[in-house]
Structure 1
Amino acid sequence: MQQFKKEIPPKPSKHADSGEAPLKVRFVTIDSEREGQRIDNFLLSELKGVPKSRIYKLLRTGEVRVNKGRIKPEYKLNEGDEVRIPPVRVSESAPGPSAGLRKVQALDDAILLETDGYLVINKPAGMAVHGGSGLSYGVIEALRALRPQAPFLELVHRLDRDTSGCLLVAKKRSALRRFHEALREKDMDKTYQALVQGKWPHRKQLINAPLQRNELQSGERVVRVREDGKESQTRFKVLENFVGCTLVEAMPLTGRTHQIRVHATHAGHPLLGDEKYGNDEEKALSAKLGLKRLFLHAAALSFVDPATGKLVTVQAPLPEELTSVLVQARGQ
């Protein structure tokens, strides 16, 4: 008797019904813009949406290779390196902000200076520098929405959500590296203006108090002066005295979270409008002056242009909601 073997159809690909192409190994050759970047950070940018733990597993198991060899997460890429990126399913990221939103469009008019390598924007108060923690987008996501064809846009430093003023954004990876080096070497000067409670003494020019960042059970981030904290220094200069408050210039010599705000409070002169580190007297004065936000503004930024080697200083004028408070203070 002739026997017939039942044919079993091949198992359909999980991409067959979705219309997606099967994932493939990718090979990326590193150019001068990527040179010096750590391999783990490179992979995080290439595989957006993939958890860090998965990235490090790919490195640990040798699925990611550079020039056909295994590397460690701290390996720094060189121009000409060939990186093997294995097939990894990248989760879809949340949609970015619409370029048509009024707040997003306003950022175009807020650009103070732009070159091929960077731009400086006058960040409005109330907008975070990036999305996260319940925020769908921040300045950097809004800029990317405005310029979808831009190959590279990354924050050089950060400003608190409630702080306005000069924010530096790199348009090239090489510029980002130079700016980060300048920050490490303290070759970038940031100048702020703040309105503080009380009469700031002219002799008090430097606050040198170590800071430690803590996270409360609620998830709120709070910074305190602690002996075992990180070294933190801020220079202060009196600009104008008013009844019950002082306009000061603040220059952070280190870059700690909430540094100016905590140092001012430590000196006994909290910033007006500071809901986190202020006190009842400050709140009463803020209400009297009609202040509805933190009075902290990044007024100027000085740095060396990576392309020309020349010193550049960019200034951001005080926004109207802060100048009107000064008018009120002068009229007391």
Structure 2
Amino acid sequence: MPYITRNYTIGPNDSGRRLDRILRAVCADVPLSAIYRMFRDGDVRVAGKKIDGSYRTKAGDSLEIRLPDTGISDKPPSRPSAAGTDAASAFSRMILLETADIAVVNKPRGMLTHGDGGVDEAAKAYFSDRADLSLAFVPAPLHRLDRNTSGALAVSASLRGAVAFSAALRAGAVRKTYLALLGGDMASEETWIDELERDTNVGISVVGTSGKRAEAWAEPLLRSGGYTLASITLGTGRTHQIRAQAAAHGYALAGDAKYGGRALKSGYVLHCASLSLPPMTEDDEARVVFAPLPSRAIGVLEAIFGDDFRERIPAGTAIRIGEIDRKSTDRLD
């Protein structure tokens, strides 16, 4: 069988990754068993030397791959389609902060974090030129917001940013503060520390006697007619954490039928209002990124707390809602 040789140069967004993982991206049509056979047979070389799949790449490495020339091609250059251009424009309108390593966007309610029409697809389109310079790196959301939760969401713009953010998240150095419309009258600050279990049969999280530790701090900002507008800061990041803990402590989100919330025609209001980030690199600085409320949420809160509710938010909270985000439009469920 005739063979061909492909030559690549490892760039910054592939540096430090295992070589076998890079080959799985470059040779997506090649079975995994065949990829490891290529390593054993010496068909994969770095700087002309046979190398193991566990090798951690370095920027500037010269990679040589010997492949059968039937049905295998280089990673094709991406050419933006009309849909891709629209997705890139949508991502651009959502951006709150952009650096060389990370972007923070204001995700609209109704948009998936991952999936068809999601933030991940928009990020790929927006960063398409940058992604084309890499063999395996794909810009993507670094944490998750539920479909009907809006607000600040971090997205990787480089491998360095993805690694740094993930490490900061594990260390508890990233702080997320939400604005939530709760059912019930919360008179004072509360600390919620629970064990959350996931019921995959019905797709909800429940407070139980075992599971993963969940920490949150809730502060009432405004109260009226059996509703509380609260600031909730997370100490952990569990699936449906705020929705499940609020319900367990007697304050289910208004409009959140899945967790027993009181009826609210417009659906629940849960918005990641601020994201506190530590320095991502040595030459970076700590930041707090504020996400303006979407106009729909403003309308819901004005109807409950009055047109001047923003002026009545206590000073010194981690919430800034003086602005309305009119750049992005909430999607329908």
Alignment of 1:1-332 (within 5 A): 24=4, 26=6, 28-39=8-19, 41-48=21-28, 54-55=31-32, 58-59=35-36, 62=39, 67=46, 68-71=50-53, 76-79=56-59, 87=67, 98-99=83-84, 101=86, 105-131=89-115, 135=116, 137-151=117-131, 153-204=139-190, 206-216=191-201, 221-277=203-259, 279=260, 282-284=261-263, 286-287=264-265, 291-292=266-267, 294-307=268-281, 308-331=283-306
Once the 2 structures are TM-superposed, how far is the Cα of residue 232 of structure 1 from its aligned partner?
A: 1.5
Corresponding residue SS for 1:212? strand
Q: Deviations over 1:180-233 (max 9, x none)?
A: 1111111111111101110124142x21112222322xxx53222232211221
Q: Which residue of 2 aligns with 1:19?
A: none
The letter of the residue matching 2:124 is R
Alpha-carbon distance in structure 1 between the residues aligned to 2:186 and 2:286: 31
- AA partner of residue 258 (structure 1): H
TM (norm. structure 1) is: 0.74
| 264-273 or 26-35, which deviates more | 26-35
Quick check: which has more Rg, 1 or 2?
A: 1
Cα distance change of structure 1 residues 162 and 27 upon mapping to structure 2, 3 Å threshold: same
Higher mean C-alpha displacement, 158-167 vs 34-43: 34-43
Residues 1:191 and 1:243: Cα distance change in structure 2 (over 3 Å):
same
Structure with larger RCO (C-alpha < 8 A, sep 6+): 2
Q: Which residues of structure 2 form unaligned runs of 5+?
A: 132-137, 308-333
Conserved? CA contact 1:193–1:249, under 8 Å:
yes
The CA deviation at 1:275 is 3.3
Per the alignment, do residues 32 and 99 of structure 1 end up closer, same or farther by CA in structure 2, a change over 3 Å counting?
closer
CA RMSD across the alignment: 3.3
Structure 1 residue identity aligned to 2:294: P
The share of aligned pairs that are identical, in percent, is 32
What is the TM-score when the length of structure 2 is the normalising length?
Answer: 0.74
Q: Is residue 40–residue 55 contact of structure 1 (8 Å, CA) maintained in 2?
A: no
**Cα 1:79–1:226 shift into 2, 3 Å:** farther
Amino acid at match of 1:303: L
Q: Which amino acid aligns with 1:180?
A: S
User: 1: CA distance between counterparts of 2:144 and 2:157?
Assistant: 16
Structure 1 residues not aligned, in runs of 5+? 1-12, 14-21
The answer to whether the 8 Å contact 2:123/2:140 transfers is no
